[in-house]
Homo-oligomer: A and B are copies of this chain.
Amino acid sequence: MSRIVFMATRTDAPTRREQILREAARLFAERGFHGVGVDEIGAAVGISGPGLYRHFAGKDAMLAELLVGISGQLLTGGRRRVAEAEGGAEGLLDSLIEGHIDFALDDRPLITLHDRELDRLRDSDRKLVRQLQRQYVELWVEVVREVYPELTEPAARSAVHSVFGLLNSTPHLGRPGALPGRAGTAELLHRMARGAFGAAAVTPGA
C-alpha cells in the first residue's frame, strides 16, 4: 500500500525516523505545518516532543525531508518508466499517468503537502524541490508533445500542470471506501487525464 518516502515497498519494520516522517506527513496535511506542534508529532509515535530531536535537527528538517523525498520519488519513478518504456510514446504516457495516480491515491497526505507547504522551506531546500518538480514536469512535457505534436511547448506545459491539478484532486474525493472504489477511481482519473490532453491538442495555438 503506502510507500514510505525514499524506499520502495518493503516487508521489514519501519525505522523510527520513518514512523516519524509518516505521522508528520499525515498531521501536516491535516492541519498545516504551523498548525501542528512537535509535541503532537511526538505523541503520534509514542514519544514526547523534544525526543524528536534525537532523529531530526528540527521541525523544519522534517518538512524538508518530506518534500524533497516526494519530489525525488516522483521524478525517479517517472524516469524509471521512461527507461523501461517498450511500446511507443502512447504507452509511456499511460504509464506516467498510472504512476502518478498510484502515488496520488496511496499517499494523499504527501500529495497535499506537496503543493501546500513548499513556501515554509529554507531557500536552499525550496530551490532543490522546485528543481526536482521542474524536471518532472519537463519529463512529462516531452512525452506529451511526442504523443500530441500539435501542442506548442507552452501549451503542453500548461496542460501538464492542469492535469497534475486534476490527478492531485484525490484528497477532495470522498474518503477512501467511497464509490466507485480505488480501481474505479484510478481508471476514471486516467481516462479524464487522457481526455484532457486530447482536448488540449485540438486547435493548438488558439
Interface residues, chain A, CB within 8 Å of chain B? Answer: 30-35, 115-117, 119-120, 152, 154-155, 157-159, 161-169, 172-174, 178-180, 183-185, 187-189, 191-200, 202-203, 205-206
The answer to whether B178 touches A154 (Cβ under 8 A) is yes
Query: Known contacts A155-B180, A159-B188: does B34 contact A35 (CB below 8 Å)?
Result: yes
- List residues of chain B with CB within 8 A of the CB of A180: 152, 154-155, 158, 205-206
Tell me which of B116, B155, B169 contacts A165 (CB under 8 A): B169
Query: Known contacts A158-B180, A173-B161, A180-B154: does B192 contact A120 (CB below 8 Å)?
Result: no
The closest CB in chain B to the CB of A186 belongs to: B206
The answer to whether A35 touches B120 (Cβ under 8 A) is yes
